[in-house]
Amino acid sequence: MEKFKTKSYAMDMSSGPLLQKMLAFALPLMLSGIVQLLFNAADIVVVGRYAGDNALAAVGSNGSLINLIVNVFIGMSVGTNVLAAREYGAKNSKELSKTVHTSMLLAFIGGVFLTLLGLVMARRLLTWMGTPEAVIDLSALYLRIYFLGMTASMIYNFGSAVLRSIGDTRRPMYFLLLAGVINVLLNLFFVIVLKMSVAGVALATIISQCVSAGLVLMCLMREEGWIRLELKELKIHKDKLIQIVKTGLPAGFQGMLFSLSNVVIQSSVNSFGEIVMAGNSAAGNIEGFVYVSMNCFYQATISFTGQNMGAGNIRRIYKILLTGQLCVVVSGLLFGNAAYLLGGDLLSIYSSSPDVIAAGLTRLSVVSATYAICGMMDVMVGALRGLGYSVMPMIVSLLGACAFRLAWIATIFQQERFHTIKMLYLSYPVSWALTFAAHLICFFIVMKKVRQRFPQQPAETE
């Protein structure tokens, strides 16, 4: 029989000490997320320091729009993660190979599509967002160049999803570390030496994305285990595509809906002018580091739940959820409040303007300080997706977070006494709390159905 594990990078998530394994899985993911955020952080810091506040606003305000466009395909990589983890847990090498080759070809096709979409629609989308005339030209230029790297970005994300499914989070971290160093160095060269402003930081980003994509491809093509990628075997297997879409499309649609609500909020932020836009962009970038410290436990919950579903080890799923929630609450409270307390010093890295720093502190005081609630919500979603239920959390998120935020903006925020930037930010923690409560109820309903499918449970090996 073919060797089950893939060298020393794979992880059996269906047995053994849970907290230790989850931390071993999550910490490289956390570092990977931090490095990935450094791509955008380097962009924002360099343009803020050397190209002015308008360039800072142009780069920073693109984040929510980029997420809106790419999240459907990033969601597909979640489908790859869930399906591959389940097949790995069930020790089904043939089906796992089909999933790998379908996923990587899907990544390439999706990346090309996103590039064309971004090039054609960039300025129109920014206009719809209400981007001020003072920064729209710079924003459109950054967006068009950024989307030239979409194919590389999709390949890296889908390839990393395959590696995560077998418990390998270390090699993607190494690839991003190298790409991150390249990105920072190119940022400094293009902006300070060549005076390329936003075009320089966008170009540096796509070059670094190509590096990370090339490394993950090389890793999969040299793999000796079940996830080995062979270019001649690239093919869309209909059954695998359907399963990936079944889980991934709702996940991507949910991400898109969250981004849509964020785009609406960004449009409302834009109405307060360039200073608030710049402060919001800088604070949002700081919060991104808090988010990835929690999001790694969402990713861990998906993979651990998926492998245990494949192995038929249902009892362990409750422990996975509790462990994930414990980890995400600790990391969210620790890093979220640290970001707020150190906010003045952190924001000064992005801009020397006291007004921009004050605007950023307003956001950190509301969003960052309560970020643990967002992490709790995401872990619930990870558990449901790992169980194979993706439409349910999408609907709950649509109603509990997105629709609620839009309603908040259309009603409470429109009242004169509540028409403040702080009241706008308050829509985040309130929507997180409501959505978490709804997801928790859904989890217990789903687990009741799952237990009926697996009535006999073996004793768990610790």
Kindly tell me if the per-residue pLDDT of 461 is higher than 50: no
> Cα 263–35–60 angle (5° rounding)?
30
* CB atoms closer than 10 angstroms to residue 322: 13
pLDDT tens digits for range 321-344 = 999 999 999 999 999 999 999 999
pLDDT band at 457 (very low <50, low <70, confident <90, very high): low
Alpha-carbon distance 250 to 144, whole Å?
Answer: 27
CB 38 within 8 A of CB 256: no
Q: Is residue 49 part of a domain?
A: yes
Q: Is residue 219 part of a domain?
A: yes
Can you read off the two tokens belonging to residue 358?
A: 């004050």
Supply the range of the domain harboring residue 364. 18-453
User: Residue 275, class by beta-carbon neighbours within 10 Å (0-12 exposed, 13-18 middle, 19+ buried)?
Assistant: middle
Alpha-carbon distance 418 to 425, whole Å?
Answer: 11
pLDDT band at 39 (very low <50, low <70, confident <90, very high): low
Q: Is residue 177 part of a domain?
A: yes
pLDDT band at 7 (very low <50, low <70, confident <90, very high): low
pLDDT tens digits for range 416-454 = 888 888 898 998 999 999 999 999 999 999 999 888 877
Among all chains, which residue has been given the structure tokens 């038929």?
Answer: 312
Q: Is residue 12 part of a domain?
A: no
Alpha-carbon distance 44 to 41, whole Å?
Answer: 5
Kindly tell me if the per-residue pLDDT of 210 is higher than 50: yes
* CB atoms closer than 10 angstroms to residue 56: 30
Kindly tell me if the per-residue pLDDT of 158 is higher than 70: yes
CB 140 within 8 A of CB 127: no
Alpha-carbon distance 305 to 303, whole Å?
Answer: 5
pLDDT band at 302 (very low <50, low <70, confident <90, very high): very high
Q: 3-class DSSP state for residue 438?
A: helix
Q: Is residue 344 part of a domain?
A: yes
Provide the whole-model pTM. 0.80
Q: Is residue 204 part of a domain?
A: yes
Q: Is residue 109 part of a domain?
A: yes
Q: What is the pLDDT of residue 22?
A: 93
Number of domains in the chain: 1
DSSP for residue 369: G
Mean of the pLDDT values across residues 346-355?
87
List, in sequence order, the alpha helices (H) in 195-237: 197-222
pLDDT band at 253 (very low <50, low <70, confident <90, very high): confident
Kindly tell me if the per-residue pLDDT of 459 is higher than 80: no
Q: What is the pLDDT of residue 5?
A: 45
Closest CA to 162 of 213, 115, 227, 117: 227
Around 107, how many Cα atoms within 13 Å sit in the side-chain half-sphere? Answer: 28
Closest CA to 238 of 98, 418, 112: 98
Alpha-carbon distance 165 to 180, whole Å?
Answer: 24
Alpha-carbon distance 183 to 42, whole Å?
Answer: 8
Q: Is residue 5 part of a domain?
A: no
Mean of the pLDDT values across residues 287-312?
90
Alpha-carbon distance 57 to 276, whole Å?
Answer: 9
Q: In the predicted model, what is the mean pLDDT of the chain? A: 86
